[in-house]
Structure 1
Amino acid sequence: MEVVTAEDYDGMSKEAAKFIYEAIEKKPDITLGLATGSTPQKMYQYLAEMLNENNIDLSNVHTVNLDEYVGLDGDDKQSYHYFMLEEFFSKVNIPLENTHIPDGKSDDLDAEVESYEKIIADLGGIDLQVLGVGRNGHIGFNEPGTPFNSRTQVVDLTDVTIKDNSRFFDKIEDVPTRALSMGLETIMDTKSILFLASGETKSEAVDALLNGEITEEIPVTILQKHDNLTVMLDKDVLGE
């Protein structure tokens, strides 16, 4: 585990963007695992700027996203399809057919998660996975108690996650209660991981990752077992 500490959220975002940019330069046909939410938002902004300024060709890059809410259309502003298009895909030259996000509106969710695992396998696995973390230690939408050997699956969201995510919706009742998510074993199969965390609300989860025992009750702790993990933090999350 390599730990990089930035002065603030902006600095962390720049460092993360540079990390991914260099990975793309090194492997132009890279498969990136991508995350959504407020933590990577500015990273995508900086990454798009770097890629465009240097005319980097993304025609051979593929992406697979961690998760998606069940029940939201891709054009719903709270869907992760919409987030990725607005925050990143529409700003760079990646072919949209090379981007993959679970379909939360699928009529057969069990078939959808099986199909998603096959997409990842057919791509040869994920070269670099970007991760954030929930206040309760979830990664992807793998909530506390998720088995470490889980693959992509339909998950029920906890009250903590629903409450935390309600800030993005008009009211808490609008927050979906289920999602499709890569499983913990799927995440651990990735060749390298870039973990990002910012702000005081994530302090306990980050402390568990850095110093805690490995337990299914705090899913993020499984990352201690990964052979190629880079942790990028700002000083707020460390209480500095």
Structure 2
Amino acid sequence: MEIIIVHDADEVGRVAALKIASVVSRKPAAVLGLATGSSPTGIYASLAARVAAGELDFSQASGFALDEYVGIPLEHPESYASVIDRDVVRPLGMDPARVRVPDGRATDIEAAAVDYDQAIAAAGGIDIQILGIGSNGHIGFNEPTSSFASRTRIKTLAPKTREDNARFFDDPSQVPTHCLTQGLGTILDAHEVVLVAQGASKAHAVAGMVEGPLSSMVPGSALQLHQHATVVVDEAAAAELTLADYYRYTYANKPVWQRFE
């Protein structure tokens, strides 16, 4: 796991976007794992600016969303199908036919979950998965006690997660109780992972993910098992890291051949 500490949230988005841009430049038909929420918005804004400047092309890329609410109407502005289309597909010039979101409206949710994992495998796997982390340590909607071997499935959202997501809805009672999410095992299958976190509210979760023991109580700690995981955080989110100075030192002295900037 590589830990990159930068000054602020804008820099988090810029540096993480450079990592993703390096993958797409190397492989124009890359398969992207697309996260929603507030954490990755800076990534998408930075990538969109590169697309607008003619520096990057996502027209051949494919995408698989990380999760979706169960039972939310497709056209609802906070369905992740709508969010991905609005915040990712259109700004990046992706082909909507190449982007898939878990079917939270399926009559057979279990079958839809199995189908989603099979579709990812059929696409050759995810080349780079974008992630944020919740204040309780969840990645995707894999709440504490999720199995590290879990696959795409239905999950009940923790009260804290629903509370955190209420800011996206007119009324907190509108936040769905269930979701379809890629499992931790599904996420760990991605060839590369880039996780971003900003702000003091994420500091405890980041420290548990990076330096704590492998624990289902901190689902993000599963990334300690990933061979190519990059974690980009701002100073506030890094505040509880014991080895923060070491992470700064190693990034400052990274060999040229390993850099993606």
Q: TM-score range by the shorter chain?
A: over 0.9
Aligned to 1:192: 192
8 Å Cα contact 1:133-1:197 kept in structure 2: yes
Instruction: Letter of the 1:113 partner, please give it.
Output: A
Identity percentage over the alignment?
38
TM-score for the superposition, normalised by structure 1: 0.97
Q: CA deviation at 1:10?
A: 0.6
Matched residue SS, 1:4: strand
Q: Alignment RMSD, CA only?
A: 1.2
Q: CA deviation at 1:7?
A: 0.6
Instruction: Letter of the 2:15 partner, please give it.
Output: E
Q: CA deviation at 1:48?
A: 1.0
The Cα offsets for residues 167-205 of structure 1, whole Å up to 9 and x where unpaired, read as 111222111000000001000011110011111111111
Q: Report 1:172-191 matches (<5 A).
A: 172-191=172-191
Instruction: Letter of the 2:47 partner, please give it.
Output: L
Instruction: Using the TM superposition, name which of 59-68 and 177-186 deviates more.
Output: 59-68
Q: Structure 2 vs 1, CA of residues 8 and 55 (structure 1 numbering), >3 Å: closer, same or farther?
A: closer
8 Å Cα contact 2:209-2:219 kept in structure 1: no
Matched residue SS, 1:68: strand
8 Å Cα contact 1:21-1:51 kept in structure 2: no
Aligned to 2:229: 229
Q: Which runs of 5+ in 1 are unaligned?
A: none
Q: Report 1:10-49 matches (<5 A).
A: 10-49=10-49
Aligned residues: 240
Aligned to 1:238: 238
Q: Report 1:1-240 matches (<5 A).
A: 1-54=1-54, 56-239=56-239
Instruction: Letter of the 2:134 partner, please give it.
Output: G
Instruction: Using the TM superposition, name which of 140-149 and 69-78 deviates more.
Output: 69-78
8 Å Cα contact 2:85-2:96 kept in structure 1: no
Query: 1: CA distance between counterparts of 2:170 and 2:94?
Result: 32
Instruction: Letter of the 1:109 partner, please give it.
Output: I
Query: 1: CA distance between counterparts of 2:22 and 2:98?
Result: 20
The Cα offsets for residues 83-119 of structure 1, whole Å up to 9 and x where unpaired, read as 1111121123211010011111111111110110111
Q: CA deviation at 1:55?
A: 5.4
Matched residue SS, 2:231: strand
Matched residue SS, 2:24: helix
Instruction: Using the TM superposition, name which of 67-76 and 180-189 deviates more.
Output: 67-76
Instruction: Letter of the 1:49 partner, please give it.
Output: A
Matched residue SS, 2:130: strand
Query: 1: CA distance between counterparts of 2:208 and 2:220?
Result: 8
Instruction: Letter of the 2:172 partner, please give it.
Output: I
TM-score for the superposition, normalised by structure 2: 0.89
TM superposition outliers: structure 1 runs of 4+ over 3 Å: none
Q: Which runs of 5+ in 2 are unaligned?
A: 241-261
Matched residue SS, 1:88: helix
Instruction: Using the TM superposition, name which of 211-220 and 45-54 deviates more.
Output: 45-54
Instruction: Letter of the 1:53 partner, please give it.
Output: A
Q: Structure 2 vs 1, CA of residues 233 and 55 (structure 1 numbering), >3 Å: closer, same or farther?
A: closer
Instruction: Letter of the 1:117 partner, please give it.
Output: D
Query: 2: CA distance between counterparts of 1:61 and 1:136?
Result: 32
Matched residue SS, 2:138: coil
8 Å Cα contact 2:21-2:56 kept in structure 1: no
Matched residue SS, 2:194: strand
Instruction: Letter of the 2:160 partner, please give it.
Output: V
